[in-house]
Amino acid sequence: AQSVAQPEDQVNVAEGNPLTVKCTYSVSGNPYLFWYVQYPNRGLQFLLKYITGDNLVKGSYGFEAEFNKSQTSFHLKKPSALVSDSASYFCAVRDPDYKLSFGAGTTVTVRA
Amino acid sequence: SQTIHQWPATLVQPVGSPLSLECTVEGTSNPNLYWYRQAAGRGLQLLFYSVGIGQISSEVPQNLSASRPQDRQFILSSKKLLLSDSGFYLCAWSKVRGEQFFGPGTRLTVL
């Protein structure tokens, strides 16, 4: 079965510092990976996806993610965090039936 | 462009009462549709998904049911709510091989 894990429940960074949210995956076959962001009491918003191609994927709001096959990771990154990036971030993997399996989420707090 | 709507936004219901949550999608045809539940603001559990009218797949056994009476309408129902049904319910749509797009969610509190 396809699965993802987000090892950190919370990440705290200062505004202007780099932000990294970690995700590792376990799949049989080629991975199809996604990142979503959720603000309090809101639905999830799609940030970016990896299907094939370049290992560095660029997405919305200045976020990017690096696919690393040898480490089975798909970490989300932003070079300079903003207070408005404070939210919950979810990694997901798509299974052969096109359903998504989500990680437990990481709550990011960016302090001014 | 495509939009997805959910209503109501919030709902407080007594134990044992019925439930009906509605989700509609605009701007696309023949979408895949999904119902998720999110407990305590973390982790999403897939409840149901549908690849077409009248086609519903259930992911977990529970006292909830889903129906798709029209191409872009997805309904989540229950005949008798339990306390454990409280949570944040999210509807999503996708094209067959595309990413999923989520609605704004419904906050359900069962008392």
Q: What is the CATH number of the domain that holds B8?
A: 2.60.40.10
Which of A32, A46, A106 to probe the B interface (max B CBs under 10 A)?
A46
Q: Assign domain A3-111 to its CATH superfamily.
A: Immunoglobulins (2.60.40.10)
**Residue that wins the pLDDT comparison between A92 and A28:** A92
pLDDT at position A81 is: 97
Domain boundaries, chain A: 3-111
Indicate the number of domains in chain B.
1
Q: Say whether residue B95 is in contact with chain A using an 8 A CB cutoff.
A: no
Q: Say whether residue B104 is in contact with chain A using an 8 A CB cutoff.
A: yes
Q: Say whether residue B16 is in contact with chain A using an 8 A CB cutoff.
A: no
> Nearest Cα to A76, choosing from A29, A26, A7?
A7
| Residue B16 domain-assigned (yes or no) | yes
Which of B34, B102, B108 to probe the A interface (max A CBs under 10 A)?
B102
Residues in chain B: 111
pLDDT digits (tens, 9 = 90+) for B22-48: 999 999 999 999 999 998 756 899 999
b/e burial code for range B89-101 (CB count within 10 A of at least 16 → b): bbbbbbeeeebbb
pLDDT at position A33 is: 95
What φ, ψ does residue B11 adopt, rounded to 5°?
A: -155, 130
Domain boundaries, position B63? 3-97
pLDDT band at A57 (very low <50, low <70, confident <90, very high): very high
pLDDT digits (tens, 9 = 90+) for B7-19: 999 999 999 999 9
pLDDT band at B96 (very low <50, low <70, confident <90, very high): confident
| Residue B11 domain-assigned (yes or no) | yes
pLDDT at position B41 is: 57
The answer to which of A27-31, A32-36, A59-63 has the lowest mean pLDDT is A27-31
Residues of chain A neighbouring B44 (CB-CB closer than 8 A):
44, 90, 102
* Interface contact A99-B105, CB threshold 8 A: no
pLDDT band at B76 (very low <50, low <70, confident <90, very high): very high
| Residue B104 domain-assigned (yes or no) | no
* Interface contact B90-A100, CB threshold 8 A: no
| Mean local confidence (pLDDT), B69-95 | 95
Residue B9 CB contacts under 8 Å (≥ 6 apart), including other chains: B104, B105, B106, B107
**Residue that wins the pLDDT comparison between B83 and B61:** B83
pLDDT at position A30 is: 86
Q: How confident is the prediction for chain B on average, in pLDDT? A: 93
pLDDT at position A96 is: 82
d(C-alpha B85, C-alpha B87), whole Å:
6
Long-range CB pairs of A60-69, under 8 A, 24+ apart, other chains included: A61/A37, A61/A85, A63/A35, A65/A33, A65/A35, A67/A31, A67/A33
pLDDT band at A58 (very low <50, low <70, confident <90, very high): very high
